[in-house]
Amino acid sequence: MPQQLVTSAPATPPELWAPVYARAVKGRFRSVKSATAGLLLAVFLILPWLRWERGAGAVDQAVLIDIPGARAYLFGIEIWPQEVYYFTGLMILAAVGLFLATTLFGRLWCGYACPQTVWTDLFMAIERQFEGDRNARLKRDKGPWTLNRLARKLGKHAAWLALSGATALAFLVYFVDAPTALRGEVGTNALCFLAIVTAATYGMAGFTRDLFCTYMCPWPRIQAPMLDEHSIIVSYDAGRGETRGHARQGQSFVDRGHCLDCRLCVQVCPTGIDIRNGMQMACIGCGLCIDACNGVMERFGLPRNLVGWTSLAAMKDPAAASPRRRLLRGRIFAYGAIMLGVAALLATVMSRRVMLDLNVLHDRSPEFVRMANGEVQNGFTVKIINKERRQRRIALSLHGLESASLSVIGQGSTDGQGVALSVGPDTVEPYRILVRKPVQADSAVAIPLSFELRDQDSGATASHDSIFITGEAN
């Protein structure tokens, strides 16, 4: 019979805090897990050191989130604070992509690509170098404190701290210039950042480990509705494995199950679960139990994949669980359609990105001023946004307000309703604008008007609507 999904964590209080002594294992999935971790680590470490030429005076780091400069750089794309919707779109894509991967392959992300998994693997590898594999660690931790044990523990924790510090520095250079950070030319905030990330990495990968995956991370609780009988998950074939029991090589398995109850699948599990109890919330889908079980099956001349990647439908009826059936599901189409829609929307918005824009804010106090010659004056703050890395010569003009004059405080040139301005590259230039107009006794209290920008070199335009206040309503 197929195993049912277990959506709650095991357990009695003693089990909750019991440390997991995971055993090293070799096999296909261990190799894939190591290769994936190596690739992800290489991308994480190398990416901020890549250079990207953006012109004179611009940062040349290919990937950078410049918080003081209020910019985010991704190769040829430069994101301004008001364009946070690009990040929103990317987050939606990532989330729906995770939903799709979970529907197809369960917690594949957790087992192979989650930062907690990758760094925990590194910490466990260091632990084995200093303290040995599972049995050696168990024996040593149950014994008395000796100089040898103390030296091994200190060496392990020193290596963990060194790796945590290197991780913090690698993360920091996504927010500050990489060569500058490496030379130590950073401020107090950066040092605090380094200390916090170092402590977090040391604590999460060194101590919480399986507790994070089981009790702290919300994803195990969210994933259950995304799984169905066609999702590929790590499963134990109870129909073939039971009744379990110990055996000797050469023994007949005609009248008994293939499971030898060796518990290697439990010993290699990073979260310490028994996959034979069914799919559990603590299972991260890494497949190490498959490698352990397949090694045992080969030694006893039994078929592989007593524990393997399969679906509940395939365990019940292998003929009915075809790849086509797994893919032609409503939720697969729904997630795919959402991803295509969001990606198309992002591409469209990016292709129509406005590189010249303005914001206009009407003065609130006072809203208007009556001049001695009978004119009414309104004040505005105009912010011209230039997203290109070149100096712009801008003509600012006023539309919709007859007989009005426009002047810019601090600018000597005024030409009727228009004025020539200069805007620096990749910047926001604020200007104080005064608009005056003769007002008749029966004039409207608020008259609509529009400010318009025109790039005198490229012809690009931008406009913003506002109002001209003539007085208070009767």
The whole-angstrom separation of Cα 372 and Cα 152 is 88
The whole-angstrom separation of Cα 233 and Cα 189 is 44
The whole-angstrom separation of Cα 26 and Cα 32 is 11
Half-sphere exposure of 28 (CA within 13 A, CB side): 9
The residue type at 246 = H
CA distances (Å), origin 469, targets 397, 400, 449, 463: 18, 13, 10, 19
The whole-angstrom separation of Cα 106 and Cα 399 is 60
**Concatenated DSSP letters for 351-381?**
HT--SEEEEEEE--SSS-EE-TTSEEEEEEE
Please give the span between the terminal C-alpha atoms of the chain, in angstroms, as a whole number: 84
The whole-angstrom separation of Cα 466 and Cα 335 is 42
The residue type at 263 = R
Asked if residue 41 lies in contact with residue 118, where contact means CB atoms within 8 angstroms, the answer is: yes
pLDDT of residue 378: 93
Asked if residue 282 lies in contact with residue 6, where contact means CB atoms within 8 angstroms, the answer is: no
The whole-angstrom separation of Cα 269 and Cα 288 is 7
* Burial of 311: CB neighbours in 10 Å, binned 0-12, 13-18, 19+: buried
Half-sphere exposure of 340 (CA within 13 A, CB side): 6
pLDDT of residue 168: 95
- The pLDDT tens digits of the residues spanning 204-231 come to 999 999 899 888 888 888 888 888 888 8
The answer for residues whose C-beta is within 8 angstroms of residue 32's C-beta and 6 or more apart is: 112, 287
Ramachandran angles phi, psi of 156, nearest 5°? -60, -50
User: Domains plus CATH for the chain?
Assistant: 356-469 (2.60.40.10)
* Burial of 66: CB neighbours in 10 Å, binned 0-12, 13-18, 19+: middle
Locate 276 and state its tokens. 């034979």
Segments in the chain below pLDDT 50: 1-15, 413, 415, 474
Helix axes 147-172, 188-203, angle to 10 degrees: 130
Locate 151 and state its tokens. 């030296």
pLDDT of residue 356: 92
The b/e string for 407-440 (b: 16+ C-beta within 10 A; e otherwise) is bbeeeeeeeebebebebeebebbebebbbbbebe
Tokens 């310490």 sit at which residue? 272
